[in-house]
Each structure stands twice: as C-alpha cells, then as structure tokens.
C-alpha cells in the first residue's frame, strides 16, 4: 500500500473517543514503511490538525466531510467547497421558522442554539476528554445574530428532526437548493 486514508471517530479513536498509544505506535510503523496516512473526517479542520500532528500523519488532511483539504506543512487550504453565508442564513431562517433543530459548522467551530440531537451526542462523547490531540471542536452556543457576524467559512449545516414526516419534508425542501450538496443521514439519528 502507498496510502491509507482513515476516518477518525469510530475508526482511529477508540469507543471512548481516545487516541491510544497502541494506535499511535501502529501508525508510526506504517509511516516508517513509507506509507502515507491521510486523515479524513467530518470534523472541522482545527479538530483534525491536532490528531494529525500527534500521529505524524501525512501533510494533507481531508476535513469537513470533504469540504476542505489542507496542506499542514504550509498551513494552506488547497481545496475548499464552502456554503455561502446567504444560503446558510436562509437555511437557519427556515429552521427557526419551522422550529427545526440546526447545527452550523465553520472551519473552527460548531454553532448551536442548545444541546440537542447531534450537538448533545458530540458533547456527551467528548466533554470529558482532556487531551487536545483528540481535537474537540468548540461548541458555540449562539443564534442567527452571531452567525451573521461570523467571518469563517461555512462548511456545512446539519438539520435534525425526530419526526419522520417532518424529516422527509425537510429533505424535499433542501433538494431545491442547487448550490449545496445534500446528504440525508437518518442512521445518525438512530445512533443518537
């Protein structure tokens, strides 16, 4: 093998969300054989950087569910596909109007109104971790006024609802946006 692309949560990290010494040693053995190890994750960029440094991964990381590829050696974004602020604000307004839960992701943080759904799962899974290398994303408790002031790129928005009919109608509405890629992931709500 010349390259191993590996996910972080549930793959590289153990079930407690920790990077074990055994895993670090195993990755080191692989890289010593000139095999590149590229971290790929749904996590925000800053969250992946610490883990990449800890395991001596390749200089390139794929973050934000593929929305960002970063060259760590030069600290340069070599690929990005972000959602424009206008679209993010439209989607957040839609969620507020329809009383639907949302999480807005930037390259630095996760913006939530409160701890529900995936935000609660993230918090519950990671709040006890002390090691910076686990890359805990900052969860910012804020609303639309804060989002309007954000200067960081928006990588994605997660929209959640427990009611299947509402969920399906949300999916149908979101399909009408031609400038976003839609990933319907009902399996995530099953985990939560």
Residue 21 has pLDDT above 60, yes or no: yes
Mean pLDDT value across the chain: 82
Q: Which residue has the higher pLDDT, 179 or 130?
A: 179
Contact 45, 8 (CB under 8 A): no
Distance CA 190, CA 192 (A): 5
Task: Report the candidate in 147, 35, 36, 160 with the shortest Cα–Cα distance to residue 93.
Answer: 147
CB atoms within 10 A of CB 89: 15
Q: Which residue has the tokens 């093998």?
A: 1
Task: Report the candidate in 21, 53, 14 with the shortest Cα–Cα distance to residue 37.
Answer: 53
pLDDT digits (tens, 9 = 90+) for 73-107: 998 999 999 999 999 999 999 889 988 888 898 87
pLDDT at 116: 57
Mean pLDDT of 131-143: 65
Distance CA 192, CA 187 (A): 9
- pTM strictly above 0.95: no
């Amino acid at each position: 093998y010349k390259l191993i692309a590996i996910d972080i949560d549930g793959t590289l990290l153990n079930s407690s969300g920790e990077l074990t010494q055994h895993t670090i040693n195993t990755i080191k053995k692989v890289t010593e054989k000139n095999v590149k190890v590229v971290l790929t994750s749904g996590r925000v960029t800053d969250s992946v950087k610490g883990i990449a440094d800890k395991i001596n991964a390749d200089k390139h990381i794929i973050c934000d569910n593929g929305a960002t590829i970063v060259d760590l050696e030069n600290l340069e974004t070599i690929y990005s596909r972000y959602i424009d602020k206008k679209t993010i604000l439209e989607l957040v307004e839609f969620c507020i109007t329809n009383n639907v839960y949302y999480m807005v992701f930037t390259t630095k943080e996760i913006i939530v109104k409160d701890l529900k759904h995936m935000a609660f799962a993230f918090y519950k899974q990671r709040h006890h971790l002390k090691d910076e290398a686990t890359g805990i994303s900052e969860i910012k408790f804020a609303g639309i006024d804060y989002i309007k002031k954000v200067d960081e790129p928006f990588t994605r928005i997660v929209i959640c609802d427990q009611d299947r009919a509402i969920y399906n109608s949300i999916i149908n509405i979101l399909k009408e946006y031609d400038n976003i890629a839609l990933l319907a992931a009902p399996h995530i709500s099953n985990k939560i």
